[in-house]
A and B are shown apart, each in its own frame.
Chain A
Amino acid sequence: MTTGPATSDWQERIDRDTAPAIRGEHELRYRLIAPLVASSAVWADLGCGTGFAAAAALEGQRPPCAVLADLEPTATATAAGELGIADTTQIAGDLSEPATLARVGEALLARAGERVVSCFEVVEHLSSFVALLEWATGLARAGEATFAISVPNDAFWSIENPYHQSTWSEGAFAELRCLLPSEHTLMRQVALSGSALCGWEGESEQHRLVVRVGGEEAVATHFLAAFGPRHRQLRTGALAAQTDMLAQRRWERQRESNIALSEHRVHEVREELQAVVIEQREQLRANTAQFDEWRAYIHELERALGRPLAGSPEAMRAERRDDARP
C-alpha cells in the first residue's frame, strides 16, 4: 500500500520492476498460503497492491472467489486483472477504518466455506492497527476465517521508512502476539544468498537445493503469524530464484538516476534559498541602517523637547504610567 508520494528510494508497491530479493520475499509469503487459498471458497487479500507476487505464487491455482482490498482503487483493479479470478470483489479504502473492514467482512462472509485472508506488509502502513486486529482476531476466534499476516523487522536495521506509520521489531511482534488467539502459528522469514553454475549455452535447468535456515544467528527480515481454524496447515519453506540481473541493474540504475536527479533538485532549491537569504540579509541591513538614522533623529527631537529617549527605561515607565491612567 502506498500512502505517500512516489519516490525511487522505497519500493512499497511490488511490481515487475521491484528488486528481485524483495519480490522473492513477497512471493514466498504468498506461496506459504497458496495451498490454503487454492482449497478455500474465498480468499481476501488485504493491501493487495498490484497482485503481482500473489499471481506468481498461486501459479495456476485460484480460488473461486476473491476479495481484494487496498487504499487505492487503481491497485485493486490492477490486482484483479493480474489474478484473473472471475468472482472478485474490489474494495478501496483505509484498513485502519472499521467501515472498510466491515465491507471486507461482509464480502468475505457472503460466501460459505473455507475463508482465507492474507494481510502481508500492511499493518505497518496503517495509522492505527487496533481496528484491524480486533476485527481479524474476532473472525478467527469465531472460526470464520484463517488469517496470515506479516510485518517487517524494521528495528534490526533501524530503518526509518517514510511510509511506515509504526515500527516493528521482535519486541513489537511480541506485543502483537499477546493479542492473537491463543492458538496460532508463528514464523520468521530470513534472507538467503546464493549462486548457481549452469551450462555454457545457458540452457534452462532446474536444481533442488538443500539449504539450512534458522538457528541462533538467523535474523528475521519479517515476522509472520497465522491464526484461525487452519493456521496449523501452514508449512515453512524457502524460495530461491535466478536473479534477473538485467532487471536488477535497470532497477538500481533507475534508482541511482532518480536519486541523483533529486539531489540535483535539492541543490538547486538550496542555492535559490541561499540567494533569498542573502537578499533578505541585505534588505535587513539596509532597513537597520535606515531605522538607526530615524532613531538618531527622533532622539535629537526628544532631547530638544526635554523628553526621555524612546526605548529608554524612563520612557517605558512613562508609557506605563500613561497606560494606567483611566
Chain B
Amino acid sequence: MRVAFLLNDIQLSGGVGVVLEHARQLSALEGWEVTLVLVREDEGPSWHGYEQLPHLHVRSRERALQERYDVAVATWWETAFTLFELNAERYAYFVQSLEDRFYRHDEAERLGAGLTLDLPVAFLTEAGWIAETLRSLRPDAPCYLVRNGVDKEVFAPAEQVQPATGGPLRILIEGSPSSWFKHVHDAIDAAAAMSEPRHVTVVCGDRQALGDVAADEIVGPLSHREMAELYGRTHVVLKLSSVEGMFGPPLEGFHAGATCVVTPVTGHEEYVEHGFNGLLCDWDDLRGTARQLDLLARDRDLLHYLRCNALETARAWPDWRQSGQFMAAALRAIRLEPQPIAAAASARMLADLRGGVEIYHEHLRERLAYAHKADRFDRLVARARGNPLIRAFLRLRRYRAARVAARPFRPLTRRLRGLAP
C-alpha cells in the first residue's frame, strides 16, 4: 500500500506532528510505504523536533509527480491544490479542523479553505465534531473518524496524582499568541485577575507576539518531552480557545495529572467532563474564569478530585499504535471503495463559490461606499484647511491661552475627529 501525505512543510507544529505520527505508525506496518510530499517549492526536509522519523520517504512536489500512489492524502487546505496533480488511485483529505475558521471573515483564505471541503475526496478526520459536520456537509463522501493517539512514552500517565495541599495554584497557558482564536492573552488576563496565590507559566514560541505579559515564567518553544515534564509540575491547564480541532493540550496535561479550565470549544467534548475531570468556563468571561481558578486554588479537595479523574481519563485514551490501526483500516477502506462522484462535489463547490462571491461582492460594496464617504470627507477637510481664516484659527493652537479658551468646544471637536476615517 503506497500512501502519500501532502504537507506544506515539516516544521514542528501540532497538525504536522499528527500527520508525521500517523506516517510513522503506517510505515511500521508490513507492506506499507509512506511518503511525505512537501508541496511548497524550495521546502527541504527539516527534522528539527522529529529526529525519530528520518526513515520516512520525503519527496518534493516535482519528484512526487513522477510517482504513483494508492492513496494521496491532503492534510491542510493549501496542500489540496497539489492533491489532484499526483498520480493516485484514490484521493483523501485528512481534516484536522475546519480551517476556514482560522481566518477572519474578510480574509480571502477563508473562502479558499472552505471550498476545499467540497472536493471529490474521502475524508479522514480526528474529531467527532468534525466528522459530524463533514457528514452533514458532504453526505455524498465517505468520512472516517481516526482520533489522535497520545504518545504514551513521552506523555506517560503518572503513577498517581500527588495532592497539592499548599502553595500557589500552578497554571499553564500555552498556544500561539499570534493566532487570534487561541486567546492566549485572554487566558493570561484571566489568571492575572485571580485573587488567590498562583504561579502562571506561559509556553510560547513567539515572544514578540506575546509582548509584555503578567506571568511568573515564560518558556518555549519546548519539545514534547519538555512539555510533558512541565505538565508534571502543573495543576491546571488554562485554555480559552475559540477554535480547536481535537484539542490536544489539556489531554496531554491529563496524562501528567493536571486538570483543566477551558472554554466549551469544539473538541472538548471528546474527553472533558465539567466537574469530573475539568471545569468549563463561559466564552469571553475572564472574571468568571478567574473565579473558577480561585475556587481550585482554595478548594484543594476539588482540585485533587479533578486531577485524579483527569489522570484516569488519560489512561483510557488510546496510544498512537491504536490510532495508527484505525488510520490503516480507513486508508484500506478508501482504497477499496470507489472515489466519490465528482459531479456531486462540483455542484456543492459551485454553490459555495457562488455564496462566497456574493459575500465578497457585499464586502466590496461596503468598502466602496465607505471609501466614497471618506473621500468626500477628505475633500471637505482639504478645502477647510485651504481657507486662510481657518488656517489662522488653527495657528492659534500654538498659544496656551487660545487652548484654554477653546476648552468648552472640546466635545464638538472630539466628535468631528471621530468622523474622520
Contact = CB atoms under 8 A, between A and B. Distances in A.
Interface of A: 128-130, 133-134, 137-138, 154-156, 158-160, 166-167, 169, 171-172, 174-179
Given A158-B312, A171-B128, A172-B318, A179 B325 contact: no
B258 interface: no
14 contacts: A128-B29, A129-B329, A130-B328, A134-B329, A134-B332, A134-B336, A137-B333, A158-B316, A160-B315, A167-B316, A171-B270, A174-B145, A175-B146, A178-B144
Contacts of A160: 315
Interface string B318-344: 100010011011101100100000000
A174 B313 contact: no
Top 6 A-B residue pairs of the complex, sorted by shortest distance between their CB atoms: A155-B316, A158-B312, A178-B144, A158-B315, A158-B316, A166-B322
A128 B326 CA distance: 10
Given A166-B318, A171-B270, A178 B325 contact: no
Interface residues of B, number: 24
A175 B145 contact: yes
Nearest to A154: B316
A174 B317 contact: no
Interface of B: 29, 128, 131, 143-147, 270, 312-313, 315-318, 322, 325-326, 328-330, 332-333, 336
Interface residue SS majority, chain B: helix
A172 B147 contact: yes
Contacts of B336: 134, 138
A130 B28 CA distance: 14
Contacts of A129: 325, 329
A155 B276 CA distance: 14
A190 B314 CA distance: 23
A51 B330 CA distance: 32
A158 B308 CA distance: 11
Given A158-B313, A178-B330, A172 B131 contact: no
Contact of A174 (B128, B316, B330, B333): B128
A92 B330 CA distance: 28
Contacts of B313: 155, 158
B316 A175 contact: no
A99 to B, nearest CB: 12
A171 B126 CA distance: 11
Contacts of B326: 175-176, 179
Contacts of B131: 174, 178
A134 B337 CA distance: 12
Nearest to A169: B316
Nearest to B123: A178
Given A172-B147, A175-B144, A178-B143, 20 more contacts: A129-B325, A129-B329, A130-B29, A130-B328, A130-B332, A133-B329, A134-B332, A134-B336, A154-B316, A155-B313, A156-B316, A159-B316, A166-B318, A169-B316, A171-B128, A172-B318, A175-B146, A178-B145, A179-B326, A179-B330
